[in-house]
Chains A and B, each alone.
Chain A
Amino acid sequence: MKEYIGVDGYQALAKVLHKMTPDEVIDEIINSGLRGRGGGGFSAGKKWKICKNIKAEKHYVICNGDEGDPGAFMDRSIMEGDPHGVLEGMMIAAYAVGAKEGYIYVRDEYPLAVTHLEKAILDCERSGLLGENILGTDFSFSIKIARGAGAFVCGESSALMKSVAGEVGEPRATYIRSVVKGLYDEPTVLNNVETLVNVPTIIRKGADWYKSIGTKKSTGTKVFSLVGKVRNTGLIEVPMGITLREIIYDIGGGILDDRPFKAVQTGGPSGGCIPESMLDLPVDFDSLTEVGSMMGSGGMIVMDDTTCIVDVAKYFLEFLVEESCGKCTPCREGLYQLHKLLEKICSGKGEMSDIEKMERLSENVMIGSLCGLGKSGPNPLMSTLKYFKDEYIAHIKDKKCPAGVCPELITYKILDNCTGCMACIPACGYDAIEGKKKEVHVITQDKCTKCGACYAVCNFDSILVS
């Protein structure tokens, strides 16, 4: 806590409490152009304004730290590394909308984040930054932590609020907005961790300063989790509007082992894959949506020529089928059928008419689903169909997986340059490889399950996947 105060921590809180009215705070945030970092990109200030203007007994502020997007860990590092920044952001939001109680919803997989936030809350309570009459004003606010329990759909606003209340996290139809009727049916502001952590800085340095970073419609910076087949993996914070090429090649150092770039996936299970031809695309909310992906929470997964695009689509659908809460039929059954079709294609039994079937079904799922999970669920499939149709056709017509991933469509062979080192023999869990020391080994094809273990352990590039 001392460190946080040492870097101007809680200065912004003092400023709003002593020098600004709630409306001034909201105007400042609207003016800064800050948009929600949790996926939707809705203006944070406008959300606060709607919430504040609703007359109700209670208002709530909730911080969304569910970070369900697999392959992303920005919010984890913020909650672990800068818990006070999150708290201060929440306090300012609470002051602006008139909330007395707040919750932070943290993903179950992040125990360290919970520990750090608990400590930060305790420190604040002890020093009078949380509780009654904060800093001698009549503003009172308390924060509780609600731990998630491993359900992706609970990142969705209405499901999250059910979960906070100790219920099963099923979303409800979106025509009832949670800003109007949220937690316990009271008006509730739900913001992502990264959105809130931007707030104190905006208040301290001013909206104009914030606007000077990024692009006109997407202001400020964004944290991405740059992972996958890229040389330097990790978290990066970049100004909005930077191009994908700059991120992947300048910051990421290019593709692992200098292999060819294939695609970059953004937006998690609701997003899409972006092909090489679009590497010069500026990264902001609107450009990404335009090409059929989305900003999402900031996962950025780089793929090379050994990543099979159909397999990736299948992977996301499988994830969504698992995580669909099952309440509405289009999502529960539609995603299931899409996944079945993809399995069929990956196993070499696909027909050309399946592509059309998937397109039609995707559309229905998008229109008919209750919440964002289903509405955007077919995105990974649609975007890959759009940009990588050839790869689908290769699976269907030629019965080949060009990336060498789908087991039913590939074979493993040992080449003559095998040194006979015997490394692959114990690695194979199926006794499919035979050979003596310093002699070329052989794979018994009808025992081979195409798991790829031999390929992974071979140091001499002697295994051919085709």
Chain B
Amino acid sequence: MKHDFNKLTDIFDKYPKTQESLIAILQDIQKEYQYLPCEALEQTSDVLDVPLSKVFSVSTFYNSFSLTAKGEKVVKICTGTACHIRGAKLLQDQLENHLAIKAGETTEDMKFTLEVVACVGACAMAPVVVVGDKYHGSVKVSRVKKLVKAK
């Protein structure tokens, strides 16, 4: 995939050039490109003067970072305790079945990526599914497929 890497300079300029900024920079890159392109990691390593191996180890340790490209819309199924008890597994099953992918995968047309996340902090409205950045609470089986209608 081709990317416009000029944006990286803007990201680097926001932070002091120390290792302390590493996670924040990676987060901004993840936000910009929806994942961490290899080239961006190499540049980060150069700019911060942190070994590439370290950049990779941080990128793979934390759940928020992904080294593969994601779909247009990320669908997050909350599987935190409150949601688990109120039927998150069933929603996951329905979405996996409907989109014909497993959690962690992306549909072939690159429209949706399905993810599970442990608690999005909206436990009072469990079970919760987040599509893009929209939170859907008290999701019912009868409604769940509508959340991923291709628009």
Contact = CB atoms under 8 A, between A and B. Distances in A.
- Binding between chains A and B: yes
Interface of A: 67-73, 76, 107-110, 146-152, 163-169, 225, 227-229, 233-235, 265, 268, 299, 301, 303, 307, 312, 315-316, 319, 322-323, 325, 423, 427, 429-430, 449, 451-453, 456-457
Interface in B49-101: 50, 54, 57-58, 61-65, 79-87, 90, 93-94, 97-98
A325 B57 CA distance: 12
Contacts of A301: 81-82, 85
Given A165-B19, A227-B82, A301-B82, A147 B141 contact: no
B142 to A, nearest CB: 6
B117 A307 contact: no
A298 B94 CA distance: 31
Contact of B26 (A72, A149, A227, A456): A149
Nearest to A80: B121
B140 interface: yes
A165 B82 contact: no
Contact of B118 (A165, A168, A169, A319): A319
Contact of A71 (B93, B119, B141): B119
B120 interface: yes
A228 B54 CA distance: 40
B22 A149 contact: no
25 contacts: A72-B123, A73-B121, A73-B124, A107-B121, A108-B64, A109-B117, A147-B24, A149-B65, A163-B23, A165-B19, A166-B23, A225-B123, A227-B124, A227-B126, A233-B124, A268-B81, A307-B85, A325-B61, A429-B93, A429-B97, A430-B97, A449-B93, A453-B94, A456-B140, A457-B141
B27 A71 contact: no
Question: Contact residue range for chain B?
Answer: 35 or more
B122 interface: yes
B141 A166 contact: no
Contacts of A307: 85
Given A227-B126, A451-B90, A76 B64 contact: no
A451 B64 contact: no
A69 B81 CA distance: 9
A323 B54 CA distance: 20
**Interface residue SS majority, chain B:** helix
B74 to A, nearest CB: 13
Contact of B58 (A69, A107, A166): A166
Contacts of A67: 121
A303 B85 contact: yes
Nearest to A449: B93
Contacts of A149: 23, 26-27, 62-65
A322 B121 CA distance: 19
Interface of B: 18-24, 26-27, 50, 54, 57-58, 61-65, 79-87, 90, 93-94, 97-98, 117-126, 140-142
A453 B65 contact: no
Contacts, number: 138
Contacts of B79: 70
A422 B126 CA distance: 27
A67 B81 CA distance: 13
A315 B84 CA distance: 8
Contact of B61 (A110, A168, A228): A168
Contacts of A452: 87, 90
B124 to A, nearest CB: 4
A383 to B, nearest CB: 14
A239 to B, nearest CB: 21
Contacts of A325: 61
Contact of A108 (B20, B27, B50, B122): B27
A229 B87 CA distance: 11
Contacts of B50: 166
B123 A233 contact: yes
Nearest to A110: B121
Given A150-B64, A453-B141, A70 B19 contact: no
A449 B97 CA distance: 12
A165 B61 contact: no
A457 B90 CA distance: 12
Given A233-B126, A303-B85, A456-B140, A166 B22 contact: yes
A350 to B, nearest CB: 20
Contacts of A423: 142
A146 B24 CA distance: 7
Nearest to B76: A109
A228 B20 contact: no
B98 A429 contact: yes
Given A149-B26, A164-B20, A169 B61 contact: yes
Contacts of B141: 427, 453, 456-457
| Residue with the highest number of chain B CB atoms closer than 10 Å, among A149, A150, A225, A452 | A149
Given A151-B63, A164-B20, A457-B142, A228 B86 contact: yes
